[in-house]
Structure 1
Amino acid sequence: MLKALIITYYWPPAGGPGVQRWLKFVKYLKEFDIEPIVYAPKNPTYPLEDDSLLTEILDDITAIKRPIFEPYRFAEIFSKKETKTISKGIISGKEKQSLVQRILLYIRGNFFIPDARKFWVNPSVKYLKKYISEHKIETIITTGPPHSVHLIGKKLKAQMKLNWVADFRDPWTTIGYHDKLKLTTKSLLKHKELEKEVLGNADHIIVTSFTTKEEFQNITNRPISIITNGYDFEDVEEVSLDQKFTISHIGSLLSGRNPENLWRALAELVESDKEFAEWFRLKLVGTVSQDVLKTLHQYGLSQFLELVDYVPHSEAVTIQKRSQVLLLIEINSNETKCIIPGKLFEYMVSKRPILAVGPENADISRIISETNSGSFFTYKDCESIKLLLKEYFEQYKEQKLVSRVTGIEKYSRRELTRSLAEILKNIKQEL
């Protein structure tokens, strides 16, 4: 059986989307004759924790944990709230940033390259060199962000005879928040240099979207495969639908995810249709920025709003299944058209209609169209959103509102793991 060492920062009890991908791969790899060994930090600073995910780790999985130095702990001395906000990726626009946030962003962007977990690199390389030799491991996998994890892979590859797969859950220098880190010209060049070195030295690169693959192909000639995020059949149970016409968004709604065209469409509907106003509820589950809340208040939607704090993954799945319509909102920028969030696939298997808003030519629009799982709109659409919501509401009243998804089987975690196993076995043959 092929042994694969998976180097990841996010591992249970970490919560949020970052942990899901490799938790699920590890769950199924042994079915395809791959023995996963997980290497993760012993004392991390996770912005979100979800103890329920600990139950998904199989008893026979080896997980090695080593200490990590986390600068975020020192940053909390100045402002615990600002530090936690930044670590969650909630970064306000330049005109709304506090002095403390501007200082923290400058330090984060220019003194911690590629990120604040850089101090884990050298101790990990030293420890893993010995572990890899003793356990005769031929293949390592690094998954980022944080992209400092890839530097562990780069150094191990340079010092040992190994196959190295670099998995990018998000892009590096073109990720949406990168331009908010107040990078100097020198720091930006350093990021690009490290990105190029990682992409040029990995034996195989895995990305989660079509756009990221195209972007990386302009930087490296190394083989690149797309393995998207996915869903797990075991996570899904039958539940009753909400009695109200609930339109739900699961996950963080950052300042950039604030589609005024959608809020305007809803405001016009509650104003013009008393029955719609009586039954409509907007449920936002997870962290919601003050910018979004302020906009909803301006459109008169506060009275229809139900805010729910971060919930365990299993509870989030239940909320998805109960909702009448599911919202998927991505930031309206060229940098985010590559983002295909994991919740898209869980939305699809929930079999509830998806209403997605994002940038033009977004990768999510392609998948939604292929699977017939909902409708995608740009930030320019308003009337078309309103027409769709009217249609959904009429179907809801007749108890006929359903999602007729097709072709989603290839996005199951087991099938995605099958694709991953084929990559790992093929590069082993090339060693």
Structure 2
Amino acid sequence: MTRKRVLCISYQFPPFAGTGVFRVLNFVEHLPDRGWDPVVLSVLPGHYERGTALDDGLCARVNGSARVHRTKCFQGIDAMLSLRGTFRGNATPASAGQGETAGTAPAGKGFWQGVKDAVTLAYRIPDKQVGWLPYALAEGVRICRHEKPELIYASGGPWTSFLIGLALKAHFHLPLVIDFRDPWMNNPYDELNVGFRRRVNRFLERWCLRRADAVIANTEPLRTLLADTAGSGNKCHTITNGYNETEYVGLKARASGTVPLVVTHVGNLYGKRTPDSFLQALTRLIDTGRLGVHEVAVRFIGHVDEARINNLIGSHPVSAMVTCVGVVPKNQALKMLFQSDIALLIQPDTRLQIPAKLFEYIRSQKPILAVCGEGATQELIEAHGLGVVADADDPEGMEGAILDVFRQARSAEGHVKKDYMAFEAGALTTQLAGVFDGVFQSSPQMKNG
């Protein structure tokens, strides 16, 4: 096998501990076995945004599989807001209060809010990680000159990674593969993608899609959308997210027939991701006698709004069924998932996206209760017979879905071995290496001998 080298551009890389890191990490771990030696370009740990979760233990998975180059990143928004705070902190109480009437807003508040909003939007084109661009470009040039990769792979978001990849592609005439872990222009969680910034980002997305040699999406609906923008479906591919089998060694499933049935949600709940419709349906099932209080236990693992849950269920008997575990290490969360009967997924209003946790649920072989609308998540669950889909806006349908998934969990149907190996990291990396091989074989340097 002729070995080839790929430059992997990824802002999120260990010790970064967010969900987005695992897709690239899994690829980097498995690419050497498929003939591609990765060289990673990422960010120094001290230059991530303030409050970024880091896990040094993840770095152990990289040892030996890749050379990693790290650079600085100018966090523009943080710097500007700190400067704003310094100026405001220097104002004396007397001067700050001159000309103000008790109970009115400070005169400068509107101005500073306008400055903050303008700076925030300016530093979010294409995203707030744009401060990585000059440092990454300089290091990328050095890598391409000295390590001579045959191909460039860029993972986004942040979308700044794509711009770095395109610049290096143009300068060194190397093929470029861009990987969309999320939608760029149709992401329901990017509330600041509006106005002028949205127009610029739409142009940049189209430019990236048309200049890249291959495009990867992690869901089929997203691939279809990107193919329309790229003007070519042939260069667009779907490679889903997945799981790493090494994380599941030694995990044992809960004995069947154990009472109560344990329903577990793993991951943070925020924004539109709320358990309201699920918990309200549980209370109605108990009130109407279709479900006993002692038949079910519900666990939420991760960041959740406990006050919201308490206000929702109050002193209702369902409150005795619900436990908010909080944040735990990933290996402990997986162990608790395996010691459950049903995996709960809450993913509304994301037609193009599938949460990464779904693939961990698939590996656990637990029937899944998915609270989601129409789209990629629903299609995957129904296509593979992974569980039951419920609409948060359909109360009766939610009740029926809960009872259906409970019946699955109690029967042999809930423990049927699913075809989960298709989503294992090694199998997915084989698909990625196939894309790399195809792009490389079609590249100018191959055609020119």
TM range (shorter): 0.7 to 0.9
Distance in 1 of aligned mates of 2:196 and 2:274: 32
User: Hey, what does 1:427 align to over in structure 2?
Assistant: 439
Say which is worse superposed, 190-199 or 49-58, in terms of deviation. Answer: 49-58
Residue from 192, 214, 226 that aligns with 1:181:
192
| Secondary structure of 1:5's aligned partner | strand
Q: CA shift at 1:65, angstroms?
A: 1.1
Q: Does 1:191 align with 2:201?
A: yes
Distance in 2 of aligned mates of 1:303 and 1:293: 12
Distance in 2 of aligned mates of 1:34 and 1:322: 38
Count of aligned positions: 405
Residue from 209, 212, 216 that aligns with 2:222:
212
Q: Does 1:372 align with 2:385?
A: yes
Distance in 2 of aligned mates of 1:101 and 1:330: 32
Q: Superposition pairs for residues 21-32 of structure 1, below 5 Å?
A: 21-32=23-34
Q: Does 1:69 align with 2:79?
A: no
Distance in 2 of aligned mates of 1:347 and 1:108: 37
Distance in 2 of aligned mates of 1:198 and 1:393: 46
Q: CA shift at 1:55, angstroms?
A: 2.9
Residue from 50, 57, 61 that aligns with 1:56:
61
Scaled by the length of structure 1, the TM-score of the pair is 0.85
Gap change, CA 1:337 and 1:15, over 3 Å in 2:
same
- The one-letter amino acid paired with 1:372 is G
8 Å contact kept, 2:365–2:418: no
Q: Superposition pairs for residues 29-428 of structure 1, below 5 Å?
A: 29-42=31-44, 43=46, 44-45=48-49, 47-71=52-76, 73-74=78-79, 77=82, 107-178=119-190, 180-181=191-192, 183=194, 185-222=195-232, 223-236=235-248, 237-241=250-254, 244-258=260-274, 260-273=276-289, 276-289=292-305, 293=309, 296-297=312-313, 300=316, 301-332=318-349, 336-360=350-374, 362-393=375-406, 402-428=414-440
Structure 1 stretches of 5 or more lacking a match?
A: 80-98
Distance in 1 of aligned mates of 2:289 and 2:412: 20
Distance in 2 of aligned mates of 1:323 and 1:109: 44
Q: CA shift at 1:5, angstroms?
A: 0.9
Scaled by the length of structure 2, the TM-score of the pair is 0.82
After superposition, give the CA deviation of every residue in 1:202-248 in whole Å (9 maximum; x if it has no partner): 11110001111121122113511000001222221332528642211
Gap change, CA 1:238 and 1:402, over 3 Å in 2:
farther
Q: CA shift at 1:289, angstroms?
A: 4.3
Distance in 2 of aligned mates of 1:313 and 1:29: 24
User: Hey, what does 2:93 align to over in structure 1?
Assistant: none
8 Å contact kept, 1:204–1:224: yes
Gap change, CA 1:57 and 1:298, over 3 Å in 2:
same
Distance in 1 of aligned mates of 2:226 and 2:387: 29
Q: CA shift at 1:310, angstroms?
A: 2.7
- The one-letter amino acid paired with 1:306 is T
Gap change, CA 1:307 and 1:47, over 3 Å in 2:
farther
Distance in 2 of aligned mates of 1:233 and 1:101: 48
- The one-letter amino acid paired with 2:27 is F
8 Å contact kept, 1:138–1:161: no
| Secondary structure of 2:52's aligned partner | coil
Distance in 1 of aligned mates of 2:125 and 2:74: 15
Structure 2 stretches of 5 or more lacking a match?
A: 86-109, 444-449
Q: Percent identity?
A: 25
- The one-letter amino acid paired with 1:155 is A
After superposition, give the CA deviation of every residue in 1:88-124 in whole Å (9 maximum; x if it has no partner): xxxxxxxxxxx99998666433432111110111221
Gap change, CA 1:5 and 1:197, over 3 Å in 2:
same
After superposition, give the CA deviation of every residue in 1:157-204 in whole Å (9 maximum; x if it has no partner): 2222111111010010110123x2173x22221111111111111111
Q: CA shift at 1:251, angstroms?
A: 1.1
8 Å contact kept, 1:124–1:152: yes
8 Å contact kept, 2:223–2:238: yes
Q: CA shift at 1:305, angstroms?
A: 2.6
- The one-letter amino acid paired with 1:278 is H
Say which is worse superposed, 158-167 or 268-277, in terms of deviation. Answer: 268-277
Distance in 2 of aligned mates of 1:101 and 1:210: 40
8 Å contact kept, 1:227–1:416: yes
8 Å contact kept, 2:18–2:53: yes
Gap change, CA 1:106 and 1:26, over 3 Å in 2:
same
Gap change, CA 1:47 and 1:426, over 3 Å in 2:
same
After superposition, give the CA deviation of every residue in 1:341-368 in whole Å (9 maximum; x if it has no partner): 22111101101110001122x1112211
Q: CA shift at 1:56, angstroms?
A: 2.1
Q: CA shift at 1:259, angstroms?
A: 5.4
Structure having the higher Rg: 2
Distance in 2 of aligned mates of 1:65 and 1:320: 35
Distance in 2 of aligned mates of 1:375 and 1:245: 16
Gap change, CA 1:426 and 1:101, over 3 Å in 2:
farther
Distance in 1 of aligned mates of 2:38 and 2:76: 30
Gap change, CA 1:264 and 1:66, over 3 Å in 2:
same
Gap change, CA 1:159 and 1:259, over 3 Å in 2:
same
User: Hey, what does 1:91 align to over in structure 2?
Assistant: none
| Secondary structure of 1:131's aligned partner | helix
Q: CA shift at 1:290, angstroms?
A: 6.8
State the superposition RMSD in angstroms: 2.8
Distance in 2 of aligned mates of 1:149 and 1:47: 18
- The one-letter amino acid paired with 2:35 is D
Distance in 1 of aligned mates of 2:41 and 2:209: 21
